[in-house]
Chains A and B, each alone.
Chain A
Amino acid sequence: MSFASTQFLAFLAALFLVYYAIPQRHQWKLLLAGSLFFYWFAGWWCLIYIGVTAVTTYFAARKIDALARGQEAWLREHKAGLSKEERKAWKARGKAVRFRWLLGCLLVNFGVLAVVKYTNFVIGNANAALSLLGGGQLPSLPMVLPMGISFYTFQAMGYLIDVYWGKCPAERSLGRFALFVTFFPQLIQGPISRFGDLSRTLYAGHSWDSRQIAMGAERALWGLAKKLIVADRLAIPLRTLVADPERYGGVYVLAVIFLYAVQLYADFTGGIDITIGVARMLGVQVTENFQRPFFSKNAAEYWRRWHITMGTWFRDYLFYPMSVSKPILKLHQRCRNRFGRFGKRISVHTCSLILWFVTGLWHGASWNFIVWGLLNGIVIIISQELEPLYDKFHARFPRLKGSRGWDLVQVLRTFWLMGTIRVLDVYRDVPLTFRQLGTVLTGCRPGTLWDGSFLELGIGGGDWLVAAAGAGAMLACSLLGRREPVRERLARHSPHLAWGGCVALIWLILIFGVYGIGFDASQFIYNQF
Chain B
Amino acid sequence: MEDLLSILKELHPEVDFETCDTLIDDKILDSIDIVTLVAEIGSEFDVEVPAEELTPENFNSAKALWAMIQRLDEA
Contacts and interface: CB of A to CB of B under 8 A. Distances in A.
Interface of A: 84, 88, 91, 165-167, 300, 315-316, 319-321, 323-324, 328-329, 332-333, 336, 344-345, 347-348, 351-352, 384
22 contacts: A88-B75, A165-B51, A300-B30, A316-B54, A323-B38, A324-B38, A324-B48, A324-B50, A328-B39, A329-B39, A332-B43, A333-B43, A336-B43, A344-B36, A344-B39, A345-B32, A347-B39, A348-B35, A348-B36, A348-B39, A351-B35, A384-B32
A319 B36 CA distance: 12
Contacts of A329: 39, 42
B19 interface: no
A348 B32 contact: yes
Contacts of B35: 319-320, 323-324, 347-348, 351
B49 interface: yes
Contacts of B54: 316, 320, 324
Contacts of A352: 32
A222 B34 CA distance: 38
A315 B30 CA distance: 11
B52 interface: yes
Given A165-B52, A320-B51, A315 B39 contact: no
Interface of B: 30-32, 34-36, 38-40, 42-43, 48-52, 54, 74-75
A328 to B, nearest CB: 8
A101 B38 CA distance: 27
Nearest to B49: A324
Main secondary structure of the interface of B (DSSP, over half): helix
B70 to A, nearest CB: 14
A65 B40 CA distance: 32
A319 B33 CA distance: 12
B32 to A, nearest CB: 5
A360 B42 CA distance: 31
A344 to B, nearest CB: 6
Contacts of B38: 323-324
Nearest to A347: B39
Given A333-B39, A351-B35, 10 more contacts: A300-B30, A320-B34, A324-B39, A324-B50, A333-B43, A336-B43, A344-B39, A345-B36, A348-B36, A352-B32
A347 B51 CA distance: 16
Closest 10 CB pairs of A and B: A165-B52, A323-B35, A321-B51, A332-B39, A320-B51, A320-B54, A324-B38, A315-B31, A348-B32, A348-B35
A319 B31 CA distance: 9
Contacts of A315: 31
B42 to A, nearest CB: 5
Contacts of A344: 36, 39-40
Nearest to A91: B75
Contacts of B36: 344-345, 348
Please indicate which of the listed interface residues B30, B48, B51, B75 has the most CB atoms of chain A within 10 Å of its own CB: B51
Contacts of B75: 88, 91
A321 B51 CA distance: 5
B10 to A, nearest CB: 8
A384 B35 CA distance: 14
B7 to A, nearest CB: 10
B27 to A, nearest CB: 8
Contacts of A351: 35
Given A91-B75, A165-B51, A165-B52, A320 B31 contact: yes
Nearest to A352: B32
B43 A324 contact: no
Contacts of A323: 35, 38-39
Given A300-B30, A320-B31, A384-B32, A166 B40 contact: no
B46 to A, nearest CB: 11
B23 to A, nearest CB: 16
A324 B68 CA distance: 15
A101 to B, nearest CB: 16
A167 B32 CA distance: 22
Contacts of A384: 32
B50 to A, nearest CB: 7
Please indicate which of the listed interface residues A165, A300, A320 has the most CB atoms of chain B within 10 Å of its own CB: A320
Contacts of A348: 32, 35-36, 39
A324 B32 contact: no
A167 B52 contact: yes
A345 B54 CA distance: 18
Nearest to A326: B48
B6 to A, nearest CB: 14
Nearest to A345: B36
Contacts of B34: 320
A34 B42 CA distance: 49
B17 to A, nearest CB: 18
Contacts of A321: 51
Please indicate which of the listed interface residues A300, A316, A324, A352 has the most CB atoms of chain B within 10 Å of its own CB: A324
B52 to A, nearest CB: 4
A470 B35 CA distance: 42
A13 B34 CA distance: 47
Contacts of A166: 52
Contacts of A328: 39
